[in-house]
A and B are shown apart, each in its own frame.
Chain A
Amino acid sequence: MNFPSTYWVYPLAAVLGYLCYRLGCWVQKGRTERAEYRELLAVYREILPKITHGRVRLISPAEYRAAYAGDDPLLIIDVEQKDDIPRVRQTVDEFFADFIPHWKEVRSPILTALSEAVTNVVKHTPGGRVLVYLESTGPRFHVEDCGSGMDLAKLPAMVFVSGYSETSSLGAGFTVMLRYTQQMEICTSAEGTALVLRTHLASPLNRERRGKEEGHALSCCPAVEAGHGCGQNYTWQ
């Protein structure tokens, strides 16, 4: 029996079929992963404010732009390398020393929280910038980076595990930021991350400290003030 001259088509079709099958699997896997990511995001958006009493919020890039578009920052400081960490702190320190009369009393926790956020940018991303605002209650910092986004799966560990773990530093910086700020908003996507750190000049921390100094510890948990209408329309580069 003579095979047709196009006999070679059959194995080629088999190979092509197999490749299409693999491609289909890959696309399906991508879809599943994206769906899982969206689900995870939805769960975190709901539970994070609840378990942190409103102190940590996960917001979308659209929400970030909507909330903070329109307002001009007082300072914009670029962040790229290690030396920028003390430089950012020093710039902010000198700036607010002129603005806020009792800055010296409250500066340390605020600058430490900022330091942690800027360190994350230097450690984990190609670079970013810090936008500085001043609200009626205290300074607000936007620490934006052009990295590939936070690993959401690690977020619960960062929120729940306080302090330094024996095996990694994961969470230590987050613990500090959480303690030393009034509210944190996290906006993360594949194009980058923006952390909004809202600090308070008369924070529970400072009142607690004064209470301890006066011999009685205060237990206070004031409602977090929701600030809106600041920031600018920022597109990650």
Chain B
Amino acid sequence: MLKVTVVKGVPDVVIKLEGSLDMGTGHSLQRTVEELDLDRIHNLTVSLSGLDIIDSTGIGQLIGYHRILSRKNGRVLIENDNREIEEILGLIGVREILGS
């Protein structure tokens, strides 16, 4: 299950995630992002420290937002101090893709 908390609204949005982010739970994040309106978001900061599990599909969702935001000079920024989450981010090379 995924809990999505909007810490800061548009244009520089900060979202905190808790629980698990995967193909089965990603719709909660998608719904929040749609409610905020992706067109009005410049930078999207996502805090992953509260996540228990993230898999490649969950990471792919964040990369998808980054691709959309980067077309208008925005980006996705990742905040994380969770060692296990950091390991999988490193494995997939997501920080290189996001440039963070």
Contacts and interface: CB of A to CB of B under 8 A. Distances in A.
Nearest to B27: A82
A119 B93 contact: no
A163 B29 CA distance: 23
Interface in B18-73: 20, 22-25, 27, 52-57, 59-60, 63
Name B's interface SS: helix
Interface residues of A, number: 27
Given A89-B53, A112-B55, A119-B55, A176 B92 contact: yes
B13 interface: no
B60 A169 contact: yes
Nearest to A85: B24
Contacts of A116: 55-56
Contacts of A112: 53-55, 88
B53 A108 contact: yes
Name A's interface SS: helix
Contacts of A179: 91
Contacts of B88: 112, 176
Nearest to B20: A86
Nearest to B55: A115
Interface in A50-104: 82-87, 89
Contacts of A163: 91-93
A189 interface: no
A21 to B, nearest CB: 48
Interface of B: 1, 20, 22-25, 27, 52-57, 59-60, 63, 83-84, 88, 91-94, 97
27 contacts: A83-B24, A85-B22, A85-B24, A85-B25, A86-B1, A86-B20, A86-B22, A87-B24, A111-B53, A112-B55, A115-B53, A116-B56, A119-B23, A123-B23, A123-B57, A162-B91, A162-B93, A163-B91, A163-B92, A164-B59, A164-B94, A166-B97, A175-B56, A175-B91, A176-B56, A176-B91, A209-B83
